[in-house]
Structure 1
Amino acid sequence: MTFDELLTLVDDRSAALRSAAAAASSLEVAVPGCPDWTLDDLIYHLGQVQRFWAVVTRLADTSAPPTTEQRGVTDPEGDLLEWSAESTALLLDALRAAGPESPAWTWWAASGAPMTAGAIARHQVQEAAVHAYDAQEAAGKPEPLPAAVAVDGVAEFLSVAMASLGKWPHRPARVAFTAIEGPSWVVDLSPAGVQLDPAASGEPVTTVHGTASDLVLALYKRIPADAVRVDGDAAVFTELRTWSDTE
Structure 2
Amino acid sequence: MTTSPGPRFDEWLDLIDERSATLRSVAGKAPSDARIPACPDWTVPDLLAHVGRTQRFWAAAVTAGPASRPPADGGLPDGAPTGDALEWSAHSTDVLLDSLRAAGGEARCWTWWADSGSASTAGAVARHHAQEVAVHVRDVQDAAGVAEPLPSGLALDAVDEFLHVGFGSMDGWPHSPARVALVADEGPAWTLILDATGASAVRSAAGEGRPEADATLSAPASDLLLALYRRAPWDDGALRVTGDAALVWQLVVWPPLG
TM range (shorter): over 0.9
Q: Which residue of 1 aligns with 2:220?
A: 211
Matched, 1:222 2:231: yes
- Once the 2 structures are TM-superposed, how far is the Cα of residue 246 of structure 1 from its aligned partner? 2.5
- Cα separation, 2, equivalents of 1:246 and 1:74: 22
1:164 aligns with 2:169: yes
* Preserved CA contact (<8 Å) 2:141 2:148: yes
1:41: which partner in 2? Answer: 46
Q: Does 1:137 align with 2:142?
A: yes
Asked if residue 118 in structure 1 is aligned to residue 123 in structure 2, the reply is yes
Partner of 1:243: 254
Aligned residue in 1 for 2:11: 5
String of CA shifts for 1:146-175, please: whole Å, max 9, x gaps. Answer: 011100011111111111111111111111
Q: Determine if contact 1:225/1:238 at 8 Å carries over to the other structure.
A: no
The offset of 1:74, in angstroms, is 1.1
Question: Alpha-carbon deviation of 1:35?
Answer: 2.2
CA contact (8 A) 1:188 1:198 kept: no
Q: SS at 1:209's partner residue?
A: strand
Whose helix fraction is larger, Structure 1's or Structure 2's? 1
1:242 offset after TM fit, Å? 1.2
Q: Does 1:177 align with 2:182?
A: yes
Q: Which amino acid aligns with 1:2?
A: R
Between the aligned residues of both structures, percent identity stands at 51
Q: Which runs of 5+ in 1 are unaligned?
A: none
- State the Cα distance separating 1:69 from its structure 2 match: 2.6
So what's the TM-score if we normalise by structure 1? 0.96
Classify 1:111/1:120 alpha carbon distance in 2 versus 1 (closer, same or farther; 3 Å). Answer: same
Separation in 1 of the partners of 2:158 and 2:108? 22
Query: How far apart are 1:202 and its partner, in Å?
Result: 4.2
- Report SS of the residue matched to 1:208: strand
For 2:12, give the aligned amino acid: L
Deviation at 1:28, TM superposition (A): 1.4
| Runs of 4+ with deviation above 3 angstroms | none
Is the CA contact (8 Å cut-off) linking 1:62 and 1:115 kept in structure 2?
A: no
CA distance in 1, matches of 2:72, 2:28: 33
How many Å separate the matches in 1 of 2:225 and 2:211? 24
Cα distance in 2 between the residues matched to 1:117 and 1:202:
33
SS at match of 2:232: coil
Once the two structures are overlaid, the 10-residue window that deviates more, 91-100 or 158-167, is 158-167
Question: Does the CA-based 8 Å contact 1:3-1:121 persist in structure 2?
Answer: yes
3-state DSSP of counterpart to 1:185? strand
**Structure 1 Cα separation of the partners of residues 67 and 202 of structure 2:** 27
Query: 5+ residue gaps in structure 2?
Result: 1-6, 205-209
Aligned partner of 1:101: which letter? E
Amino acid in the other structure paired with 2:219: G
Report 1:26-37 matches (<5 A). Answer: 26-37=31-42
Match in the other structure for 1:14: 20
Please give the alpha-carbon distance, in whole angstroms, between the structure 1 residues aligned to 2:124 and 2:100.
10
Q: Distance in 2 between matches of 1:202 and 1:85?
A: 44
Cα deviation, 1:41-95, whole Å, max 9, x if unaligned, reads 1001000000000000001023111123322431111000110010011000000
Per-residue deviation, 1:198: 7.9
Structure 1 residue 37, shift from structure 2 partner: 0.9
1:153 aligned residue? 158
Q: Give the number of equivalent residue pairs.
A: 245
